[in-house]
Amino acid sequence: MNTVFLNGDYMPIEEAKISPLDRGFLFGDGIYEVIPSYFGEMVGFKGHINRLNDGLNEIGIELNWNDAQWQTLCDTLIEKNGAGPLGLYLHVSRGTDTKRFHAFPVNVTPTVFAMAFEIPVAKTPDLVTVGKGYALSSSEDLRWQRCQIKSTSLLGNVLHFQEGYEAGSQETLLYNSNNELTEASSSNIFIVKDGVIATPIQDNQILPGITRRLLIDILAKEGSIPLEERIITLEEVNAADEIWITSSTKEIVPVTQLDSKKVGDGNVGTVWLKAATLYAINKFSY
Ligand code: PDD
């Protein structure tokens, strides 16, 4: 589990070396992706690569890899790292400059780094084995206003995650200065009230999560649980029957505590069970 890719070559992680003048190191000037793969099969590959390309375009990094090149890289990493449940981490920085200077350097080649890391085996959703669900803290979202970009500059997210971590929580739920829900420090959020699911609108305040998108599409296609994309107030979050967080490495996790208070009746919700089951059955068909 330690073969990585750096600028065209596969090597043990210990041999992967990057210059301190790399813009990713100096400025966090880069874009990344995390793609889940279970025993050789990736979830949402195309969506992940499209989001990576969108991010690169948005910050003006010209890499011009096609989907087949990313596919080969991912397949090779899977093969060389044991093909279990893996997160495939892809990272493109603007490249290595000759000095530290804020403006984009000309004629630099982007740095491409990729590695695989173990993620939990996706379990069949089950109210009993999932147990209590996660405990979350909440905090005002103090990150920048371009959260739709999956930037490697993650200090804002890291500081928010750490707040929850130090409070004994597994994630930090974030709300903006209007007391409207945005997302969590490394996940998107869904709430349920009276059988209706809601999740914040996709705008510059949240990452366009691939798990979020797949879940919305799967639920829409199945059609039995109503889902709204809309503004959600913090008041609604606090009064929700269920809260879930989603991400590529966690899939859909029920939240049973928020700021030490029970969510709903404090148990994992039945709407979560249905949605997570539909996700588990359908996630590979997108
Ligand atoms: N995090 N929002 C934020 C801020 C995230 O960092 C992530 C993912 C998500 C969920 O997106 P997706 O469903 O595409 O994984 C939402 C990744 C896994 C990470 O940084 O490790």
Decide if pLDDT at 268 tops 90: yes
Question: According to the model, what pLDDT value does residue 121 have?
Answer: 83
Residue with the smallest CA separation from ligand 1 atom 19 is 186
Q: Is 17 among the residues known to form the active site? A: no
CATH code: domain 3-118 is 3.30.470.10
Tell me, using a 6 A CB cutoff, whether residue 247 lines ligand 1: yes
Domain segments of the chain as ranges? 3-118, 134-285
pLDDT > 70: what percent of the chain? Answer: 98
Decide if pLDDT at 165 tops 70: yes
d(CA 184, CA 122): 21
- What are the start-end ranges of the H helices in 167-267? 210-222, 234-238
Q: Which of 156, 202, 181, 201 minimizes the C-alpha distance to 51?
A: 202
Residue with the smallest CA separation from ligand 1 atom 3 is 186
pLDDT confidence tier of residue 80, bands split at 50, 70 and 90? very high
pTM summary value: 0.97
Tell me, using a 6 A CB cutoff, whether residue 186 lines ligand 1: yes
Q: Which atom of ligand 1 is nearest to the CA of 249?
A: 18
Structure tokens at 263: 């969510």
CATH code: domain 134-285 is 3.20.10.10
Which residues, at least 6 apart from 256, have a Cβ–Cβ distance to it below 8 Å? 132, 133, 134, 135, 262, 263, 264, 266, 267, 268
Distance 106 CA to ligand 1 centre (A): 31
Largest Cα span, the chain? 58
Decide if pLDDT at 123 tops 90: no
- 134-285 shares the fold of 3-118: no
